[in-house]
Amino acid sequence: MEQTLTDRRDVLGADHPDTLTSGNNLASAYPDAGRLDEAIDLYKQTLSDRERFLGANHPHTLSARNNLATAYQAAGRLDEALSLFKQNLADTQRLLGSNHPNTLLFGMNLASTYEAAGRLDEALVQWQQTLAAAYRAAGREEDAATLEREDPSSQEDSGDTGNTEDTEGLDSPEPAGT
């Protein structure tokens, strides 16, 4: 893969879409080879190149930003990952809408990074927003509306366990046979 990237740079030029794709593909292979730092460096270069040649709003640029953020998360660089995931989610929502598959993916990535950072309240809110958008994308408006009405922090404060089953009468069952 390294040779492919070198060859494409030499033959096609650094700004050719195939060269940019080769850089991204090589960066994707590095973590599996235990070369996470090299992956981060190449993802940074790929993101910079894509922003310069394709523009900040191009879907491939958004994917490159997501890939760099994912590598930061894997390296434990959670603040950097969160910053990129937040930017990516905002840009994708603006460009593609809240229900687009990439927006949903980027929302899940942000939520999981909040979780990894121990920011559980923010993770819960992001998971809930992403799930509501997924319901909406699937045409399940009622489920999305129900989820959006729920306030995750109110359950913790009120002592509510989240059990929504009807438990009326369980403390004093009626005698059998009456």
Tens-digit pLDDT profile for residues 94-119: 999 999 999 999 999 999 999 999 99
Q: Locate the domains of the chain by residue range.
A: 1-54, 78-153
Encoded tokens for 106: 């980027």
Q: Which two tokens stand for residue 152?
A: 């995750």
Residue 101: the pLDDT is 93
Distant-in-sequence, close-in-space partners of 178: CB < 8 Å, separation ≥ 6: none
pLDDT in tens, 45-97: 999 999 998 899 999 999 999 999 999 999 999 999 999 999 999 999 999 99
